[in-house]
Amino acid sequence: MEEKQLHWADYYAEKIIREKGDKEVYVCASGITPSGTVHIGNFREIISVELVVRALRQKGKKVRFIYSWDDYDVFRRVPSNIKNRQIMETYLRKPITSVPDPEGREESYARVYEKELEELLPLLGIEPEYIYQANMYKSSTYAGGIKKALEKRETIRKILNEHRTSPLPHDWWPLSVFCTSCQRDTTKMLNWDGEWEITYSCNSCGNRQNLDIRKTSSVKLPWRVDWPMRWDFEDVDFEPAGKDHHSEGGSFDTAKKIVTAVYEHSPPVTFQYDFLSIKGRGGKISSSTGDVVSLKDVLAIYQPQVIRYLFAGTRPNTEFAISFDLDVLKIYEDYDRCERIYFGLEKIGEKREAKEKRIYELSQIGEPPGRIPYQVPFRHLCNLVQIHVGDVEAVVEGFKGIVDDEKDYIRARARCAWNWINLYAPDEFKFLLKGEDDKPIETDDTGRKVLSLFKNEVIEKLDSCDDQSLSKVLFDTARKSGLKTGDFFKYIYQALIGKDRGPRLANFLLAAGKEKIEKALKHY
């Protein structure tokens, strides 16, 4: 306890224990409205909570990690990239769980996005307990909390008015009603009997009705009241939020006041996390063309551990960019280095070492592996995977004498490498090794001479050389050709991959193997 906290997740875990006292179970919460693909920026909140949850558990605490799908929110606008636009527009103002999936796959519009994320999170070792707010409201679970809000209407009004430019109207109620006839929230609350009954009328369809809040499935608290009510209901101890919520007058700020004044419950421990940006794929998470950078997009390029590493290694309150450009290579290198430090294979300062080790632990899906995984640099995999034209299994089989776990690890990384090559790598990185069916490129006399020399002098030695000795053979051969080495290599690359340059040749030849090289040069 008195030891200095090296990592922010441990710091907040400790803060929660300190401020909330000794509890049987600590509740950590996160959540979002599933009104579109949950993007990588939203993911920052989830992973932030998960890291703190893990830190708490490692301190021997029981933790309930809840993730709230705010799927009783209103369908406010049709995103620009959605199908069946016109039909979708007819569902505006209804709860998003009552809006259909435009492509007909899932039971509702909200469910599409919920499922998308729920299927991905376990890959990262994140397994919260999901709470579906539409179900909670529809089953009147919150009736007590709603009544309390109605009772404290003036208190709430006062709190909200503190920061509003125009005060809430006199007939305002802290409740929104979905019309039982047309399902839209275009309603006006008319009366509350002081107990459980409310009266509303609908501006869309003219329906007017009395509802018992203990029985109806059609009422909901507005967001700024809903949030503190749920803090009380679930007894939330910790929930971070973005800076939009954290400003004075923002929803976290008013929620804090409301939970105290109305629900007589202390607000959760929190922190503010900053936004993410994207490097190498437009600057914004959600580009104007409508495609957002989702967790799936990031998983295509980064192994789950590396994604965790990215977030665990960055303070939550600083902005940072997820990169899809050349930085990807660097980030994998950094991760591997962190791993070597964890396993004691690389030395740095004592303090930094402890920190790196903690980051490594938090980056793992589960427990850290017992011994260091077989590390293959991402850059090297980019070459291997191209030699085998995306055949990841062939790449994996190229590694001899490794166990299944290691194969899985390399396989996962090789897939990322292949995706990166295809989606983001600059052209200089890309190549395609010629096969026996490819037409030979046009070459001149010198070229033919070089290639025949190469075939005679180099190919035979492929099986018996290592990187260094083959390198020597190559340069000996180059000298023998009488050309400048640069020109010599150029001819070889042209024949092999149709480009002037390519991956470092010796290593490249070895990785490709004698057979593939022979096939590539068959017609010369």
Which of residues 327 and 391 has its CB atom nearest to RNA in the complex? 327
Among residues 63 and 335, whose Cβ is nearest to RNA?
Answer: 335
**Binding-site ranges for RNA (CB under 7 A):** 4, 33, 70, 73-74, 76, 163-166, 176, 222-224, 226, 243-251, 272, 274-275, 314-315, 317-318, 320, 326-327, 329-330, 333, 379, 428-431, 471, 474-476, 478-479, 485-486, 489, 493, 499, 501-506
Spell out the residues 6+ positions from residue 178 whose beta carbon is closer than 8 angstroms to its own: 94, 95, 184, 185, 187, 218, 219, 220
Asked if residue 502 lies in contact with residue 386, where contact means CB atoms within 8 angstroms, the answer is no
Query: Residue 367 Cβ, how far from RNA at the closest point, in Å?
Result: 25
Report d(CA 55, CA 121) in Å as an integer: 18
Nearer to RNA, 58 or 485 (CB): 485
Backbone angles phi, psi at 201, to 5 degrees: -135, 150
CB of 228 to RNA, least distance (A): 13
State how far the Cα of 117 lies from the Cα of 111, in Å rounded to an integer. 10
The DSSP-derived string for 387-421 is: HTTT-HHHHHHTS-S--HHHHHHHHHHHHHHHHHH
User: Among residues 89 and 500, whose Cβ is nearest to RNA?
Assistant: 500
* Strands annotated E in 172-275: 176-177, 187-192, 197-202, 208-212, 219-220, 241-242, 272-273
Name the minimum Å distance from CB 12 to RNA: 13
Of the two residues 116 and 327, which places its CB atom closer to RNA in the complex?
A: 327
Extract the tokens encoding 84.
């069946």
Position 84, amino acid: N
Helices and strands (H, E) in the chain, number of each type: 21, 12
Burial letters 381-405, b for 16+ CB under 10 A, else e: bbbbbbbbeeebeebbeeeeeeeee
* Cβ-Cβ contacts under 8 Å for 242 (sequence gap 6 or more): 45, 272, 273, 274, 275
User: 63 or 177, CB closer to RNA?
Assistant: 177
CB nearer RNA, residue 233 or residue 475: 475
| Pairing status of strand 241-242 against strand 320-323 | unpaired
Q: CB of 106 within 8 A of CB of 115?
A: yes
248 or 350, CB closer to RNA?
Answer: 248
Exposed e or buried b for every residue in 346-364, given b needs 16+ CB within 10 A?
Answer: eeeeeeeeebbbbbbbbbb
Record the tokens describing residue 193, joined without a space. Answer: 């009997």
Identify which of residues 49 and 63 has a Cβ nearer to RNA in the complex. Answer: 49
Q: At closest approach, how far in Å is the CB of 359 from RNA?
A: 11
Residue 333 CB, shortest distance to RNA, in Å, is 7
Q: Phi then psi for 267, rounded to 5 degrees?
A: -65, 155
Among residues 455, 509, 447, which one has the least CA distance to residue 477?
Answer: 455
Shortest separation between residue 334's beta carbon and RNA, angstroms:
9
- Determine contact, residues 43/5, Cβ cutoff 8 Å: no
| Minimum CB distance to RNA smaller for 238 or for 252 | 252
Distance CA 138, CA 211 (A): 13
Q: Rounded to an integer, what is the distance from CA 219 to the centroid of its chain?
A: 33
Q: How far is CA 112 from CA 69, 104, 485, in A?
A: 12, 10, 57
Using the minimum distance from each CB to RNA, give the nearer residue, 63 or 252.
252
Q: Which of residues 189 and 506 has its CB atom nearest to RNA in the complex?
A: 506
Radius of gyration of the chain (CA): 30
- DSSP label at 210? E
Give the residue with the Cβ less far from RNA, 140 or 323: 323
CA distance 378 to 144: 55
